[in-house]
Amino acid sequence: MVNSERSRTLTGNGTTLTPHLPSKSAEFLQPRIAIIDGDEAVLDALRFLFEAHDFSVSVYASGAAFLAEPSSIALLIMDQALPDAGGLQVIRQFRRAVGATVPIVLFSKASDPEIEARAADLGVTRVLYKPGVSDLMEAVHSVMAKNAA
């Protein structure tokens, strides 16, 4: 029930309307970020970081796990080096499934012009190299603000 009202009429007192609105969970209100990384410690740290900044987060230990669980996300953050596939391969499959509407931030261990060019061809929004926390938060806020506009 999206919106309803209950009414009660009491003789001599008029009618009382009581609206009943569904509660909205934090997940519904906050943009959902999906994070893919083969390192559980990295996933835990990133989940903690983004949830502390009021984002809703889903984490995946592999590209296959992410691709197998379709969900609506506002941003994808992922490592280029995944245990089961290359990050660009996962991005290619993701783009085929949902199109180019979801911004992507890709981590890479070192600067690689070939990776950068291929990532750009796939519509990757930002490529970060071993980012610090402040670099990562700046990238996320920038991408989310651009996507909301």
In this structure, is residue 69 part of a structural domain? yes
Residue 5: inside a domain, yes or no?
no
Asked if residue 45 lies in contact with residue 35, where contact means CB atoms within 8 angstroms, the answer is: no
Residue at 9 is within a domain: no
Q: Is the pLDDT of residue 119 over 50?
A: yes
Cβ-contact 111, 98 below 8 angstroms: no
- Domain of 57, in residue numbers: 29-148
Domain count, the chain: 1
Distance, C-alpha 148 to centroid of its chain: 13
Which position has the higher pLDDT, 134 or 139? Answer: 139
Burial of 58 (0-12, 13-18, 19+ CB in 10 A): middle
Token code pair at residue 29: 């209100």
Q: What is the pLDDT of residue 4?
A: 41
Confirm whether 54 is domain-assigned: yes
pLDDT tens string 1-51: 344 444 455 555 555 555 444 444 544 557 899 999 988 888 998 999 999
Is 18 a member of any domain? Answer: no
The confidence score (pLDDT) of residue 15 equals: 55
> Which CATH number does the domain housing residue 74 bear?
3.40.50.2300
Domain-located, residue 39: yes
In a domain, 12, yes or no: no
Q: Which three-class secondary structure state does DSSP give residue 60?
A: strand
Residue 118 within any structural domain of the chain: yes
pTM recorded for the entire structure: 0.70
